Each structure stands twice: as structure tokens, then as C-alpha cells.
A and B are shown apart, each in its own frame.
Chain A
Amino acid sequence: MTDYTQVLFKNRRPGETASLETYEKTGGYEGLRIALQKTPGEICAQVKYSGLRGRGGAGFPTGVKWSFFPADQPGEKYLVCNGDEMEPGTYKDRQLLLADPHQLIEGMVIAAYALQAPVGYIFLRYAYEDCSQVIERAIAEAEAAGYLGKDILGSGFSCELHLHRSAGRYILGEETALINGLEGRRPNPRSKPPFPAQRGLFGRPTNVNNIETLANVPHIMRNGNAWYQQLSAPESSPGTKLFGLSGHFNRTECFELPLGVTLREVVQEYGGGLRNGKRFKACLPGGASSPYMTAEHLDVAMDFNALEEIGSRLGTAGVTAFDEDTCMVAVTRNINRFFARESCGWCTPCRDGLQTISWLLDKIENGQGTEDDLTMLHDQVRNINGRSFCALAEGAMGPVEALLRLFEDEIKEHIRKGKCPFG
């Protein structure tokens, strides 16, 4: 294992959460002091040129998103931190919070200042009881120390943060559904436009960012863009990234690695290879909605652009590995069931389409599939992709589409043999 620079996990100690004191000792809240000397516009510009990209799954450039935000518009504006983290195989935000939560608080205050949106909500996954305590404590500490609340560090800027525990549905991670949820409504996604930056929470301009995204901001403020960009090799994907490993790895832990490490390094060095000396067959590189990578892709760099080039997505960088004995039809069926169940039920392609995919995959996995079913599966994926109201259904098609593209032989074997070849 290489000794990569640790930024977000710098203060990570087993079983411990960094206190405010520890955080301050390692440069904590210096980024905020620096930011408060600048104008909001300057901060937005710096974040834009840093090249930071969203860590919530889509990898959208954070500074660009901020530059769309009407910071000058009078009236209420909101900052929302997306901590829903319901993507299967993803647990990096939780690790970050449990290790060093003040990064998020500091990042949010800086973002709130940069966007002139002095009220922030942290929308946290239902099951994260431990994180909620950690956040509440961090908020209290930051308030007591003058990093949060009225007239922060004598700058005249005030900011309040609220913690909201989710009711626990995958769709709540979608930012417009999340906003509905925060408002106490049913979490259906909203139609865009208007985008949240125009009409979001309570009809006011709202910016939504992932926990990890926001946690990067203080470090960028403190150390500058040049430092940030040298953390990783690919120009398109600067900075480090938390990779949460799961599945058949020997080591299922979360690591902070530079963007652009190869899949091979992740699998062999960090995952420690696969259990029982089995061979690597495939993985989901970034959560259950990212298309599979296979052994063929072991030398691909794990960054936003490189993965797109091979038809996959870095997503949340929650890497789930499958060994050579795994039936990919069965894996895909299970994943699809999750998405079908978590569909909000609003639009036809998602509500009914994912169910028919489940039916087809069931049939094939159970050995009752036919060539016609395979054709229909192709057809359905095309029919659902790009036709749904929100990105859930499209995400759900990621693994199914990859199954058809990468494991067609395996599907055909199911059909030919009339049973699952993996027994």
C-alpha cells in the first residue's frame, strides 16, 4: 500500500471521532478564516478553478454549480447537505463523519458564506444514528467556539445549521425529492426546470451538495488550488476520494486514495485480493447504479472521465467486488429488485418498467428464460433509459445494461441450460 496523502482521513483513528481540538490542531477552521477574508464571489471562483467535482454520484463540477446560484438575490436562500447515502455498497460519508465531522461543518459554513445562503440543513440517512450524534455534537462545539451562529469570527456573517433525519427511502437522495422530504412532503422528485438553485426548498434558491464534496472545501481554502490539484494525477479529477470497499474483497474497508488509481491497485493493494484466493470477476465501481467493470478493466484509472470512457461511472466510489463463482444474472436481479422496490412510483417507465425487468431477470435466473426474453430485456433497457422522470430509473439501468453488454454469454448459458450455471 502506498502512503498517499490523507486529507479527509487525516485525523481518522480506529474507534474515535476527532474532537474540535484535534481538528483545530491540524489546521481545522483555518480555511474558514481565510474564506471570510474573501468575497463570496472569490470563493466560488476558487472552488471552480480547483476542479472539485461532486462526490454524491454525478461528479458535477461543484464550483460551476455554485456559479449558477443566485447569491445576490435578496430573501431566504438555503444550503442543503445531502447525507442520505442510501446507494447500496456506499458508506463513505458515514466513515467521514465518524472520523472527522468538523470538516463538514466548516465546509458548510464556507459554502453558506460563498452562496450567501445562511441557513443550512444536513439531511442524514435514517439509519445513521451514530452520525447524527456526532453531527449534533460538532454543531454544538462549533457554535460554542464561534465558528457557527451569529457573527462568525467577528466577520458579521451568521449561519445556522439544522440536522434532519431522513424517513428512509432511497429516492430521498435525489436532490429534488430530498427537498420535498425536508418540506414534509412526499418525496417525489420535482420537475426541472426550475432547478433547486432557482426554486428549491420552500420555493427559494437552494444548493444541494454531498457530505464529502463539502468536506473538501475547507482544505481547498486552506491549502490552495495548486496543492489540491497535485493530490491526484488526472487533470479532470483532482483531489482524493473515499473508496468504500465491499463484497468479496478480503478487506472491506474505506480508503482515501487519489483519484486515478487503477482498479488493479484498489483490488489488490487495498482490497487485498478476493476472499479464498478467488479470481476477480467484476465489480460495481461506484454503487449499485454504476455499470459493472470486469477483469478486463483492471488497468483503468478510477477517475470520473476514464470510467465514463469505458461505459461505466465512478458514482460514489463504493466498490463492490464479485468473485469468479458469482452469477452476474443473480447479482443484477437482486440489485434491480432494490431499485424496483425503491422507485417512487411516479412515472411509468420506472414504476412498471423496473418490475418487468425483475420479471425477465427472474425468469432467466430460474432457467425459464428464452431468446425472446433476452430480446425483450434489450428492448426494455432502451425503453426505460432516458424516458423516466428522474435519474433513479436511469441509474437502475446501469447494471442491467452492463450485464447485457459484458455478460451476454452468461445470460445465454442460463437460457441454453435451462438453469443457473452457478448452481
Chain B
Amino acid sequence: MINLKIDGKEVQIAPGATILDAAETVGIKIPTLCYLKKVSPTGACRVCAVEIAGADKTMTACNTLAIEGMDVTTQSEKLTKIRRQIVELLLVNHPLDCPVCDAGGECDLQDICYSQDVTRQPFEADDVNAATIDKWPLIQQVPNRCVMCEKCVKVCHELIGSSALFVNEKGDRAFIDKDLDKCEFCGNCVQVCPTGTMISKPFKFKARPWELRKTPSVCTLCPAQCQVDMQSKQGKIMRVTSEDGTTINDGNLCIGGFFAHDYLASDQRLTTPLVNKAPASWEDALALTADELAKAEGQAVAGLTSPRLTNEENYLFQKLFRVGLGSNNIDSEARFGALRAAKVLQEQLKLAGASNHLDRIGSADALLVFGTDPSSEVPAVDWQIQLAHRKNDAKLVFANLRKVKLANQSETFLQYKVGSEAYLAGALAKLIVDKGQANNDYLQQFVGNLDELNSTLAGIDLDAAIAATGVSKELLEEAADYLGSAASVAIVFGRDLTASTQAEAGVAALANLALVCGAMGGDKGGLFPIDEKGNMQGLLDAGTCPEFLPGLQPYAAATEKFATAWHAELPQGGLDAAGILAGIESGSIKALYLAGTNPLVDFPESARWRKALTKVNFLVVQDIMSNDLTALANVVLPGAATTEKRGSVTSLDNRVNNLRIAVDPAGEARPDLAIIADLFAQITGKPAPSDTVVRQEMFELGGVYSDVCQMLEQRPFCWKDAYAPANQSLTAAQPELKTAPAADLQLLIGKSRFQFGSSTTLSKATAELEAEGVIEISADDAAKLGLADGGRVTLTGPAGSATGPIKVSEQQPAGLLFAPYNYAKLNIQQVAATGSNSVTVKAAKA
């Protein structure tokens, strides 16, 4: 510890701390302007000048290290004068157009003028009067208001890792410029800008900060569930911000959280129940629905629910089906990805969700990011990777089909071929064991079938792996070395893998690899399955599929427990999504209840779903937006958005978050829980359960939610039980290794980096960046087709064809196309086959 004196107070602080850090611990406030805790100190504004006994110059507190015996003065007449003069200089070329400046009322320059008593501006200088930069989408830059604190630049480089912003020019002409191609439109530069320089165009002139009502909640667009403050005026959300230092996202947001929220104000919001397309009263709509569902009960009724609904809603949804309708025909889009991974992890590793908290990615010594583009799927995971990589010098091994952002930052980029995932993970595990770098202590303690693991790995033919993956031996060895030699490893994998034909085998092989690395063994690192949808983990935990009851408890084994608790006999069997689709086609399913899900866009074989849904006798759709799907429905029930209702959601790392009501539901829309509860009451004749009752029951029966969660009422969030497997309880698997058949052209279907599900395509903000789904293609393939950017191509795959515009992208290897599933118009899912997000296609100029 270092001992120093600040304003006469004795202070003790750890070595490496600055004078500013030390002052903070004893409540001494030194004025700052360019200082931002979450990035490296800049030391540019010079406002934080302090005096140090024995030094002839003043020093800047924010970047001067505290030293043993230092005697610091933070308040003196001299310092007041210095600080005032600095601020006066900052005003030299400042327009002081506060009345029309977006930052008025929340501007650090205003505040510091006020606090330092800067009442005059005696100087003049050449009037630079730089033109406002208006050519960027979504963000405007007013250089005249810039104080060159570089907070924006540092956040962009150090936390987001996109390095889009840079300082251009020099002297008083210096200004913040942007490499637009690198910008992710996360809006963090706007959030950290202390002045009205970086401005959100959608928010500009919408409200003065003091008119806004702040509701702390979480963003539910992706499963990181970042802390947000919903800021509303007159019942409308005007902007969304996040506060530094509150939760793992530390004030950072992505394009989803920061910009996309305006989809909620879309004029496609459903505001009233519809019966046969005509507005109806809630009473009529619900009575009809209850009636029709009950009529079709048992094998003839089915339901599909959604990772967009809350934990309580999904819990009650499955209970409604199992108890009220006697049907186990329930499923969701988890079926196509997340559930496949969850089953393997549950089986092998006793793991439900991630093994550790998100920030443990940030503290890991080595990272394996496998079959996911976190920058798009879960941006907050990308930020943790940036932290680990930049701050801790963690080694990044990036395995992906495409050369996306992290590929360029990684130490080792493993660009594998479609279908070779299990081979790739297997080869890495094998190499680590062969080099004697396996975490034997962990293996000995936790793995019950070590021999099997060893023989499985021994059975992997490295040459075959090299041939299958297309990755060189050198790269495999390098990657294995990084992972094998690191003290802690974080393994992150996602939808490229979990929605592919290789999902089960690939995840099993990754689970073996995680065991070999001891990834789940320590406080740092861990195993992190990710899926882009906001409450995917909560959906899995709710047991909304035929094979699991709540808490991912296997159906058969837990039937008795739930039957007793529910005082009901539970239905046997049950159809999954594919079964339900076939059932509708064959006529055995007569009534279908869709809650917050749209198979016409989100599901593979979407065209087949469309045909089927026109056939089903009774279709009830509960949603927030009117669209092609609601047009097919007999009854439409308008739900409230996550900003308009209470409930809990569970993040990918098992944080259970409370939603708060920021604005009233649109029109007559109702919280989904109230809708499901009403149906439950009408169908069962029991009283409609309140949200607290549902939550209580869910926590008690679900098992995975700890007691602590019952205190959720009083807290913004709490953690589910930590992962703590028993000794010898984990098993290694022997995944089947296959070589994918060669194909000329393949299509990978994934998520647009600007969109979250299909709903945000209704956001005007994100539409500025990608209005229509764009098919990304390598220059080679584009040339073969004779197409340039914007040219249209028709892709024909196993399930059908789709047509859309192309964009030549350096991210695409030759022979692989990428298309986002988010857009109803492109509707690329009509090309896909169930269970496979990468399919062989034929392409033709359209």
C-alpha cells in the first residue's frame, strides 16, 4: 500500500492508483473533464491540476500515479485560477449555443463553467467554425462544440473495439472523424460525449433532459440483458441510455439498446384485439380463444412460444397447455438452436446456460470463440472479449466460417468449412492432450469417464480433421497451444454452430474441449453458449418443450412432482415444432396458439409454415406487431412490450432481471401474463394467477432458481444458483465426426448485425443501415454471377427459394453466402431446411 496525503488527509491506496483514484477514496472531489473511469486516462483537458509539495509544476490528478509520501493539495487560489483559465480557453472557439444544443442541461462543459465560476471569456482566436458533419447515419458531429476529451475515441477503441473514430487534423483544427466502414452504430460515443458534439439524430430536438422520466430496466433484445434507463416523455420512449458502473455492461450499449427501441413506437403496433380481422373487445376475443382451444384440447391443440416473453409468461404458457388443455404439444424456436445445445450440455456437463458470469470472459487468459459472431449475436459478449484481449492481453482464438470483426483482431483465426465443427473442436482437444497441456486436476476431479475421453481423442485422425476443416496443422497447433497453456480459458459458442446440422456433435466436442481445458474450473473464464434472442435462457428454464418440465427437468422423471404440485394429470408424448407442422398439414392439429413468435419469418422452412398456417382451423396470435402472420389469425391478442410490463427475464449468464414499466401499453394492449392468466382461468375454472403467484411457483418448482430470487421484488436483479457440479459427475462424449459433402455454393443464415429478431426491422433507425435483408457474397462469387452491389440474386435451396439484393463483402470466403433471417421481405428461411442454418444453394441473377 502507498501512503500519501491529500489536502492534509492521510490516504492509503494500492500501487498503480492515480491521485484522482486516491482522492476519490476519501471523498475529495477534483474537477475533471476528459476523465472517464472506464477507459485509460487521457490527460488532455488539464482541468484536474493539483499541486504537489516539492514539484514546481502542477500535475494532472487523473494520470499522475500516487507515490509514497506525496503531499497533494487539490484546492488553492492558484489552482482555482488555473482551472478557470483552462475552461476559459476551452470556450475560445465554443459557440455557446446551449439553448439549441442537445446536451443543454446535461453538459459537463456547462457544469464545469458553473462550478469553477467561469463567467467571462476574455480571449479570442481564429474562428475555426468547422462545418457540422451530417453525412453519417444516426449520429451527427458538431465539431464546434467539441472539447477534444477523446472519450468517444477511447470508448470506440478500448471498449467496443471497432476503432472507427479517430482524431483528424491538428492544432485547433483537430476534430473527431470516423471511418464509417468500421462503425457499429452502438451509440456509445454519443453516450460518453460530455458536450453536444456527438449527437443521436433520432433523439435530436425530441426532449430536454429534465423533461425525461428515467426508468431503470434491462434491454431484452439480446441475452446479455444490459442495464438500461428507459427515458420517456408523454408516454413515449425518447431515448435509452445506460449508467456506468451499475452492471456488467458498465454503461455500454449496442445499436439494439441505444438506437433500435423506436420499433416499439412503430405504427404497426397492435392496439386492440381482433376477431376475424375486426376489432373486438377483450372479453369476446378471450372467450372465443378459450373456447376454441378447449374444444380442440389434447392432441389437437398446440402452442409455440417465444424467447421474447418473460419467465413468468412462458412458465404459465406451458402450464396452461399441460394443465388446462391436457396437451404437451408445445415448442418454440429454441428447438432450432439453443435447445439442441442445452440438451447436450445438460446431459454431459449438468449445465443449464453459461457456467460463469459474463465478466469472467473479460478476465480470462485465453478465449475460444467458436461458431458465433458475438459482435452481432450478443454485442456485450464482444465487449468482454475486447476487455480480455486489450486489458489482460488474453489470447483470442477465433473459429468462424466468415472473416468477421473478431477474426481480424484474433491471434489465431480458424476459418473452417461448413459441417466440420465437431472435427475442429475435437482436433483442438486432442492436440492439447497430446501436448500434455490438459488440465488433469480438473479432469480427475470432475470427469466420470476419463478413459472414454482419452480413447475418443486418441481416435481422432488429425489429417482427417485438417482435410475436413480446411484449417492448417500450424494454425491448429497454435490455437491448441494458446488454449492449453493459458491459466484460464473462456469458450463462447453460438448460433452458427447450434443451429447447424453439427449442433449436437459440435457442442459435444466443445464440451470435451472445455473439460480438457478445465474451462469451467476456475473463477475466470467458463463455458458460454450464446443465442441472440433476449430471454432464450428464461425460455429454456421454463420448460416450454415436450421433453422438459420447468428447470430443464426431464419430462418423464419430473412428471410426478409437477402433477402433484399442480393437482393435475400430465399429458404424455407431445409434438415438437416439426411434429406440430406435420400435424397441421395432416389435419390432426386443429388449433394453434402462437405467443410472440412468427414462424413465417423466424422458422426454417418458413414457406411451408405459411401454407400450413392458412390451413389450421383456429389460429390465435398474440403479438405486439401486425404483420403477415396476424393477417392469417382468427384471433389476434395485442401484447405489451417488455418496456410496458412487469416480469423477469434471465440473461445468458443466469442473471435474473426485473423488468420495470417505463410507458403504458400501446392502446388496449395487455401484459402477456395477464392474457395467458385470463385464458388459464377461463379454461381451468381456477382463478387467474397474479404475477407474484406465478413467480413464486416457478421459483419453487423450477429448481434452478435459487431462494435468493424470491427477493427479486426488492432488487433489480439476482443470480441463479452458481454452477457447482459434483465430483465425477461430468461425462465426456464421443461425438460423431462427419465430413460434409462438397458443394459449390453454400448459404449461411444468421442474424443481421443491425437487427434483433424480426421486430427491430420496424425501427426507422436500423432501417437507415439495412432496410432490406442483404445477401453478402464474396467478390469471386459475385463476379461469377455477373453481379455488383445492389444486384439481385435468387437463391434456391432444399426448401424453396428467395430473392434479394447482394453486397460484396470481404468477410465472405468464396463459395459461402450469408443472409440475415430477420427480414420478412427477403424471407431467407424459406430456403432453409429444418435443423440446418447452412444449406447448399443454387444462385441465379434475378
User: Which residue from A169, A186, A343, A348 sits with its C-beta under 8 Å from B90?
Assistant: A348
Given contacts A352-B172, A356-B92, A387-B82, are A345 and B45 in contact (CB under 8 A)?
no
Contact A386 B57 (CB under 8 A): yes
A143 contacts chain B at the CB level, 8 A cutoff: no
A277 contacts chain B at the CB level, 8 A cutoff: no
B65 contacts chain A at the CB level, 8 A cutoff: yes
Contact A191 B171 (CB under 8 A): no
Interfacial chain A residues near B46, Cβ < 8 Å: 347-349, 387-389
A342 contacts chain B at the CB level, 8 A cutoff: yes
Chain A contacts with B in 140-175, Cβ cutoff 8 A: 169, 171
Nearest CB to that of B62 among chain A residues?
A191
A55 nearest CB across to chain B (Å):
25
User: Which residue from B44, B47, B173 sits with its C-beta under 8 Å from A346?
Assistant: B44
Contact with B along A370-389 (1 / 0, CB 8 A): 00000010011001001111
Contact A341 B171 (CB under 8 A): yes
Q: How far is the CA of A169 from the CA of B174 in the complex (A)?
A: 14
User: Which residue from A347, A349, A359 sits with its C-beta under 8 Å from B123?
Assistant: A359
B617 contacts chain A at the CB level, 8 A cutoff: no
A355 contacts chain B at the CB level, 8 A cutoff: yes
Contact B85 A383 (CB under 8 A): yes
B167 contacts chain A at the CB level, 8 A cutoff: yes
B125 contacts chain A at the CB level, 8 A cutoff: yes
A344 contacts chain B at the CB level, 8 A cutoff: yes
Q: How far is the CA of A365 from the CA of B837 in the complex (A)?
A: 74
Contact B43 A389 (CB under 8 A): yes
Chain B contacts with A in 145-204, Cβ cutoff 8 A: 147-148, 150, 166-167, 169-174
B126 contacts chain A at the CB level, 8 A cutoff: yes
A353 contacts chain B at the CB level, 8 A cutoff: yes
Interfacial chain B residues near A380, Cβ < 8 Å: 123
Which of B45, B85, B90, B170 lies at the interface centre, i.e. has the most chain A CB atoms within 10 A of its CB?
B170
Q: How far is the CA of A383 from the CA of B41 in the complex (A)?
A: 22
Contact with A along B57-69 (1 / 0, CB 8 A): 1100001010000
Q: How far is the CA of A376 from the CA of B172 in the complex (A)?
A: 20
Chain A contacts with B in 320-360, Cβ cutoff 8 A: 340-349, 351-356, 358-359
User: Which residue from B89, B123, B169, B171 sits with its C-beta under 8 Å from A348?
Assistant: B89
Contact A345 B167 (CB under 8 A): yes
Nearest CB to that of B43 among chain A residues?
A191
Contact B82 A169 (CB under 8 A): no
Contact A355 B125 (CB under 8 A): yes
A193 contacts chain B at the CB level, 8 A cutoff: yes
B283 contacts chain A at the CB level, 8 A cutoff: no
User: Which residue from A188, A191, A340, A388 sits with its C-beta under 8 Å from B172?
Assistant: A340
B451 contacts chain A at the CB level, 8 A cutoff: no
Given contacts A343-B170, A349-B86, A351-B174, are A389 and B123 in contact (CB under 8 A)?
no
Interfacial chain A residues near B86, Cβ < 8 Å: 348-349, 383, 387
Nearest CB to that of B167 among chain A residues?
A186
B93 contacts chain A at the CB level, 8 A cutoff: yes
Which of A193, A343, A353, A379 lies at the interface centre, i.e. has the most chain B CB atoms within 10 A of its CB?
A353
Contact A352 B44 (CB under 8 A): no
User: Which residue from B44, B65, B124, B169 sits with its C-beta under 8 Å from A356?
Assistant: B124
Contact A344 B170 (CB under 8 A): yes
Interfacial chain A residues near B171, Cβ < 8 Å: 340-345, 351, 354-355
User: Which residue from A193, A346, A355, A387 sits with its C-beta under 8 Å from B92?
Assistant: A355
Contact B172 A351 (CB under 8 A): yes
Given contacts A186-B166, A341-B170, are A386 and B56 in contact (CB under 8 A)?
yes
Contact B125 A345 (CB under 8 A): no
Interfacial chain B residues near A376, Cβ < 8 Å: 122-123
B141 nearest CB across to chain A (Å):
15
Contact B126 A358 (CB under 8 A): yes
Contact with A along B307-327 (1 / 0, CB 8 A): 000000000000000000000
B447 contacts chain A at the CB level, 8 A cutoff: no
Contact B44 A389 (CB under 8 A): yes
User: Which residue from A345, A348, A349 sits with its C-beta under 8 Å from B170?
Assistant: A345
Q: How far is the CA of A171 from the CA of B167 in the complex (A)?
A: 15
Q: How far is the CA of A254 from the CA of B553 in the complex (A)?
A: 88
Q: How far is the CA of A356 from the CA of B170 in the complex (A)?
A: 16
B425 nearest CB across to chain A (Å):
33
Given contacts A358-B126, A386-B57, are A352 and B174 in contact (CB under 8 A)?
no
Interfacial chain B residues near A352, Cβ < 8 Å: 89-90, 92-93, 123, 125, 172
Nearest CB to that of B57 among chain A residues?
A386
B619 contacts chain A at the CB level, 8 A cutoff: no
A140 nearest CB across to chain B (Å):
34
Q: How far is the CA of A354 from the CA of B126 in the complex (A)?
A: 11
Contact A345 B166 (CB under 8 A): no
Given contacts A346-B44, A348-B86, A352-B89, are A193 and B174 in contact (CB under 8 A)?
no
Interfacial chain B residues near A356, Cβ < 8 Å: 89, 92, 123-125
Interfacial chain A residues near B173, Cβ < 8 Å: 345
B826 contacts chain A at the CB level, 8 A cutoff: no
Interfacial chain B residues near A346, Cβ < 8 Å: 44, 148, 150, 174
Contact A345 B148 (CB under 8 A): yes
Contact B148 A353 (CB under 8 A): no
Interfacial chain B residues near A342, Cβ < 8 Å: 170-171
Nearest CB to that of A356 among chain B residues?
B123
B49 contacts chain A at the CB level, 8 A cutoff: yes
Contact B170 A353 (CB under 8 A): no
Nearest CB to that of B87 among chain A residues?
A348
User: Which residue from B45, B63, B85, B172 sits with its C-beta under 8 Å from A355?
Assistant: B172
Nearest CB to that of B94 among chain A residues?
A352
Q: How far is the CA of A343 from the CA of B93 in the complex (A)?
A: 16
Interfacial chain A residues near B122, Cβ < 8 Å: 376
Q: How far is the CA of A348 from the CA of B169 in the complex (A)?
A: 15
Q: How far is the CA of A188 from the CA of B150 in the complex (A)?
A: 12
Nearest CB to that of B174 among chain A residues?
A345
Given contacts A345-B173, A355-B126, are A191 and B89 in contact (CB under 8 A)?
no
Q: How far is the CA of A387 from the CA of B45 in the complex (A)?
A: 10
Contact A387 B58 (CB under 8 A): yes
B784 nearest CB across to chain A (Å):
36
A341 nearest CB across to chain B (Å):
5
Q: How far is the CA of A356 from the CA of B90 in the complex (A)?
A: 11
A308 nearest CB across to chain B (Å):
15
Q: How far is the CA of A349 from the CA of B90 in the complex (A)?
A: 9
Q: How far is the CA of A355 from the CA of B128 in the complex (A)?
A: 11
A390 nearest CB across to chain B (Å):
10
Q: How far is the CA of A169 from the CA of B125 in the complex (A)?
A: 22
Interfacial chain A residues near B85, Cβ < 8 Å: 379, 383
Interfacial chain B residues near A387, Cβ < 8 Å: 46, 49, 57-58, 82, 86
Nearest CB to that of A350 among chain B residues?
B171
User: Which chain B residues have a beta carbon within 8 Å of chain A's beta carbons?
Assistant: 41, 43-47, 49, 56-58, 63, 65, 82, 85-86, 89-90, 92-93, 122-126, 147-148, 150, 166-167, 169-174
Q: For the A-B complex with A342-B170, A352-B125, A355-B172 known, give 11 more contacts whose Cβ atoms are closer than 8 Å.
A: A191-B43, A344-B174, A348-B148, A352-B90, A352-B93, A352-B172, A355-B125, A355-B126, A356-B92, A356-B124, A359-B126
User: Which chain A residues have a beta carbon within 8 Å of chain B's beta carbons?
Assistant: 169, 171, 186, 188, 191, 193, 340-349, 351-356, 358-359, 376, 379-380, 383, 386-389
Q: Which 9 A-B pairs have the closest CB atoms?
A: A345-B174, A355-B125, A386-B57, A352-B89, A356-B123, A343-B171, A352-B92, A383-B85, A347-B44
14 residue pairs bridging A and B, Cβ less than 8 Å apart: A188-B167, A191-B63, A342-B171, A347-B44, A347-B46, A348-B45, A349-B86, A351-B171, A354-B171, A355-B126, A379-B85, A380-B123, A383-B86, A387-B57
